[in-house]
Structure 1
Amino acid sequence: MKICILCLSVFFALSCSLFQKKLTRDDPLVLFYKTDPLPETVASLKLTERARENIKDKKYSKALALLNQSLEIDPDNAFSYYFLGLLYHEKNEPKRSNGILERAKLLFREMPFWLSACYELSSQNWLKLGYGHQAQEDALKAEALVKH
């Protein structure tokens, strides 16, 4: 009986992890943390999420203000750097975008999903700048990270 209960427990635990929803770039950013982030990080993430919505709506000046405010609260918020890079990409400033994405890449070392997103966006920026070889390198890095 104990073995049967143990087997059922293991099966249940494994099935829960197998059927977990895969996170996307549109999900709440706090869900990407393995442990509960500090309160200042949570506050910074909320501002970043508001900025993400403003970028989608092409309200770039509002998004920029929110991202700057977010980085004042938590200067190591990788998400703020990613969305700042996205903002400049959307504003057709690929060189500036790539400079900001370099900081995001450093901070996303432990989050391959988002590190891949940085390389993907960086690849698009390199194409805009006319650097096809560098664009291809970053695209391959993004693809390799997604496969893991």
Structure 2
Amino acid sequence: MAKSIDYGNLMHDAMRRLIRKVLAGVKADGLPGDHHFFITFDTMHPDVEIADWLSDRYPEEMTIVVQHWFDNLEVGPEGFAITLNFGDSPEPLFIPYDAIRTFVDPSVEFGLRFETQESDVEELDEDEISHDLAEYEAPTEGDSSSPKENSAHEAEIVSLDKFRK
């Protein structure tokens, strides 16, 4: 029997199931209203599948935007596949859920952050959350590359570490 309940991993599993359910809904019905997603993931994760030129350009992490143009969204138990447009060049991607570092929907001020190592974990205050979100910019039509400017929308990132003792 376990000596303690691992709430952190249980919450991460629940958050990944939430992302899977949201993406399955988008696959079935499209993006409703103004919803769109910024998804940051670890490009070095062994199961991530992206073009070599993308992994060269983003050797550690990459933020994709699911908004105006995307195709071939497939949602599976371990991850999702999607084709996005990078400078008028469609590129297929496969992203395992456990490679996701952040999932943000600025249209409703919703965000999730996955902490990867306890040694790297730090508590986020409101200024840090705002600073992190200031990197995101609403993409232009047909652009799915990594946004890095200011955003008109801010979202609250949920950090599980605030609840750990």
Q: TM-score, normalised by structure 1?
A: 0.27
Q: TM-score, normalised by structure 2?
A: 0.25
Indicate the structure whose relative CO is greater, using CA pairs within 8 Å and at least 6 residues apart.
2
**Greater helix percent: which structure?**
1
The structure with more radius of gyration = 1
**Greater strand percent: which structure?**
2
